[in-house]
Structure 1
Amino acid sequence: MKSITYWHRNLMVLWMGAFMSEGAISLIVPILPLFLKSLGNYTPSQLSLLSGSIFAVTFLIKAVVSPLWGKLSDRVGHKPMLLRAAGGLSFCCFMIAIAPNVWLIILARAIQGIFSGYINNAESMIATEAPKEHKGWALGTLATGDTAGLLCGPIIGGTLATFVGFRGTFFIAALLMLAVFGLSWKLVTETFEPVPASEKMGIRDTLSAQPHIKLLLLIFVLTLIVQATNNAVNPILSLYLDDLLPSAPHLPLISGIVAALPGIATVLSAGYLGRLGDMHGQRKLLIGGLALGTLIYIPQIFVTNIWGLGSLRFITGLSIAALLPALQAILTQNTQPAALGRIFSYNQTFQALGNVCGAMISAGIASAFGYVQVFTAVCVMEALGLLLAWRLKC
């Protein structure tokens, strides 16, 4: 077994890589819909559909290609996948920065879907290397890097957009991902043993060889639901704030701060919640996170001021901090080690599909019924996830 020093070192490097990667991605989230608004004379309904589509296309492409990257990671290891993802995202941010119209942005986001997957591969590497008794803590710690980037990115993005404009912000995101590429290339070490050709299996054979296939399938579905709820608000948040605060100065900065509040709560609580999962069971942690999510989205349907919305978005981060690390820990505990890369890639596909569903549900509901009803839809999805989590037997 690899020494604790070995996996701890990789955890620290990947934490920084996840922080910078998620920061580069999330800093464009609150300003991208506002950037679209500046590129043409769109109605609110058109903006909702365009924003949702631009967010969804990345995850739709990612859902298709993730199993292919998973197979390749079993052959060449996780480190090349980290480099592929970081370099590809840098190129896509550069494309958005120079885009003259919405169509090139859509193309860039589609290409981003092809090359995405830095954080998923970091999670898979740590899940493979960390000792069983520390997996929950290790994944929770890595999640704090992800969510710290999620926290800092929107605030930095809103600030940069205020002072250097939308395009300058996208250029800076491209440079951040170049830094992630260099960090991963120089500092991540991996002792990789490729899966023998005789042991390579397709999706059906891989799943049928697992001892708890029904549980894994249920985890995939829960992952889709969780990602849909996490992603549904993002495409419309800055547009919703534009409605709440018409003609507000520094709207990109305000949008960035509100978008970052769930990340603040997640960073503060993820490590503690990961230890709770290790001590008391990941299923209990998952159920608690979904119950909190269901309850906290109800008042978000009715809130009408920025302070109330901000407070509720902060509490939402406590739910987010519990969910994905718990799902990943359960997945790891019930998957044979030789198939972990492939199983994680399948789960990544469901994460991507969840993001697609969240973005498209958001776009459709916001376009037809208004931004507020997006929160109603998310509350219903959280409740559905809670019902399914009760059926887990692990």
Structure 2
Amino acid sequence: MRWRPEATGRAAFFALLASQFAATTGFLFVMPFMPLYVESLGVESAGDAAAWAGVLNAATAVTMALTAPLWGRVADRFGPKAMLLRATFAGAVVVGLMGFVTSPEQLLWLRLLQGCLTGTVAAATLLASETAPAGRGGSRLGTLQTVIFAAAGFGPFVGGAFADVFGLRESFFVTAGLLALSSMLVLAFVGDVKPERSEEKDEAREGSGIPWRGLVPVLLALFVVQTSITSVAPALPGFVATLVGGAQERIASLSGSILGAGALAAALGSFVGGKVAARVGPKVVILAALAFSALAFLPQAAVGGPIELGALRVVASFFLGAVVPVANLAIKEAVPPERQGTAFGVAASVTSVAFGVGPLGGGLLAAHFGFGAPFLVPAFLLGGAALVFALAPRARARAVRVFKAALASVMR
């Protein structure tokens, strides 16, 4: 089986970007007030509400991790556009129903269902990858991830403000509307890549499998990066409080500013990483980004003030943001076209596990070892992932060639 792209151009790609901005904004629109919504459903204790919120987030991550490879295999057969429409339509219905629940148990069942049926990022990544013109895969994946990071910062900010003014339940209906808009943009303006049967023998087709051994370092990088990004959030307000001496009126604003600046830096890193990877190769960029982000994480636990912390978070987030689209480009280049849906599905599964492990691990580290621990441990994880890449023969050889070429150009 090989892939036959339908008519897709710059306008279709812009429509895909707009659809993903709407979808990501929608999914994160309801995140800031999830504990408050649980309290409104009858959970009286703020601590119990926070625990429920953690369970609800983990439930979606777990079911998405289990089902993402399955949806990837379906995408290999029917094309990624169908999977993107499935994820956005299903998300609109399921999240809309969350606005009508009357108990946290009902909300939990819907969150489990959301994880089973959604997963827009993996489908959009595959679609952008397969419809990119020759030589533009890295640039397009970087641009897509830039938009997703920007929406990830925009959604919680706007969602929290909306909930304060119009109410908690109404926010779920806005999310449903944004997801419906996303699906309409995809349906109307975005092309597809569809499977086309070739005349090759079945044995030859079966021989083009997925080189999992070579992809392990890439999947490890994705897991460590997403874990590092999400592990800081539970500890950040408490850590900021220790840095400002308990000035409660500044904690929320400072924490929000640090998170927002980090999201913008990650968006910029995604764009730059995609551009650079097109010239020097994805594995070199991943290796460098992992190493530099580890160095930026290392001193964060010992900062003396929020300005220092914010500056280091911006640097670390820039390099973390560069890894995600470049890792997706590495998957695209390593996997045969007829198996890329499966490979991206596994990558989405790894990312979902990281989204569940990160906040849980960060919270546990802060509770047992202090607020600095969630900033220190990712430095060692990122450094270990960089070491794995450095020991990979192809990445090492490529890095040496790039270094020699750069040195030769300087010596001229």
Q: TM-score with structure 2 length normalisation?
A: 0.81
How far the C-alpha of 1:225 sits from its partner, in A, is: 1.9
The runs of 5 or more residues in structure 1 that have no matched partner are none
SS in 1 for 2:8: helix
How far the C-alpha of 1:22 sits from its partner, in A, is: 1.4
Contact preservation (8 Å) 1:48, 1:363: no
Matches within 5 A, 1:224-235: 224-235=223-234
Contact preservation (8 Å) 1:29, 1:235: no
How far the C-alpha of 1:124 sits from its partner, in A, is: 0.5
Alignment partner, residue 219 of structure 2: 220
Contact preservation (8 Å) 1:162, 1:250: no
Matches within 5 A, 1:199-218: 209-210=208-209, 212-218=211-217
Contact preservation (8 Å) 1:49, 1:367: no
Query: CA 1:215/1:338 → structure 2, altered by over 3 Å: closer, same or farther?
Result: same
Alignment partner, residue 376 of structure 1: 376
Indicate which of 15, 20, 23 corresponds to 2:22: 20
Contact preservation (8 Å) 2:210, 2:343: no
Alignment partner, residue 274 of structure 1: 274
Query: CA 1:240/1:112 → structure 2, altered by over 3 Å: closer, same or farther?
Result: farther
Contact preservation (8 Å) 1:51, 1:236: no
Letter of the structure 2 residue corresponding to residue 183 of structure 1: L
Alignment partner, residue 41 of structure 1: 45
How far the C-alpha of 1:139 sits from its partner, in A, is: 0.7
| 2:92 paired with 1:90 | yes
Alignment partner, residue 360 of structure 1: 360
Contact preservation (8 Å) 1:270, 1:321: yes
Taking the aligned partners of 1:239 and 1:110, their CA distance within structure 2 comes to 30
Taking the aligned partners of 2:389 and 2:134, their CA distance within structure 1 comes to 22
Alignment partner, residue 163 of structure 1: 165
Alignment partner, residue 122 of structure 2: 120
Greater displacement, 158-167 / 331-340 = 158-167
Query: CA 1:164/1:223 → structure 2, altered by over 3 Å: closer, same or farther?
Result: same
Number of residue pairs matched by the alignment: 387
How far the C-alpha of 1:15 sits from its partner, in A, is: 0.8
Taking the aligned partners of 2:105 and 2:165, their CA distance within structure 1 comes to 26
SS in 1 for 2:191: coil
Query: CA 1:218/1:98 → structure 2, altered by over 3 Å: closer, same or farther?
Result: same
SS in 2 for 1:228: helix
Query: CA 1:101/1:5 → structure 2, altered by over 3 Å: closer, same or farther?
Result: same
SS in 2 for 1:248: helix
Q: Alpha-carbon deviations, 1:331-357, whole Å to 9, x = none? A: 111111221111111222222222222
Taking the aligned partners of 2:153 and 2:85, their CA distance within structure 1 comes to 23
Query: CA 1:320/1:36 → structure 2, altered by over 3 Å: closer, same or farther?
Result: farther
Taking the aligned partners of 1:165 and 1:241, their CA distance within structure 2 comes to 29
Alignment partner, residue 298 of structure 2: 298
Letter of the structure 1 residue corresponding to residue 191 of structure 2: T
How far the C-alpha of 1:281 sits from its partner, in A, is: 2.2
Greater displacement, 258-267 / 137-146 = 258-267
Taking the aligned partners of 1:324 and 1:132, their CA distance within structure 2 comes to 20
Letter of the structure 1 residue corresponding to residue 107 of structure 2: I
Matches within 5 A, 1:304-315: 306-315=306-315
The runs of 5 or more residues in structure 2 that have no matched partner are 396-412
Alignment partner, residue 190 of structure 1: 192
RMSD: 3.4
| 2:324 paired with 1:320 | no
How far the C-alpha of 1:164 sits from its partner, in A, is: 2.8
Taking the aligned partners of 1:200 and 1:232, their CA distance within structure 2 comes to 45
Larger radius of gyration: 2
Contact preservation (8 Å) 2:36, 2:49: no
Contact preservation (8 Å) 2:80, 2:193: no
Contact preservation (8 Å) 1:85, 1:116: yes
How far the C-alpha of 1:144 sits from its partner, in A, is: 1.6
How far the C-alpha of 1:4 sits from its partner, in A, is: 11
SS in 1 for 2:249: coil
Query: CA 1:273/1:75 → structure 2, altered by over 3 Å: closer, same or farther?
Result: closer
Alignment partner, residue 288 of structure 2: 288
SS in 2 for 1:193: strand
Greater displacement, 218-227 / 159-168 = 159-168
Contact preservation (8 Å) 1:89, 1:112: yes
Contact preservation (8 Å) 1:17, 1:180: yes
User: What is the aligned-residue identity percentage?
Assistant: 21
How far the C-alpha of 1:132 sits from its partner, in A, is: 4.1
Taking the aligned partners of 1:29 and 1:343, their CA distance within structure 2 comes to 29
How far the C-alpha of 1:367 sits from its partner, in A, is: 4.2
SS in 1 for 2:44: coil
Alignment partner, residue 63 of structure 1: 65
How far the C-alpha of 1:141 sits from its partner, in A, is: 1.2
Contact preservation (8 Å) 2:273, 2:325: no
How far the C-alpha of 1:143 sits from its partner, in A, is: 1.1
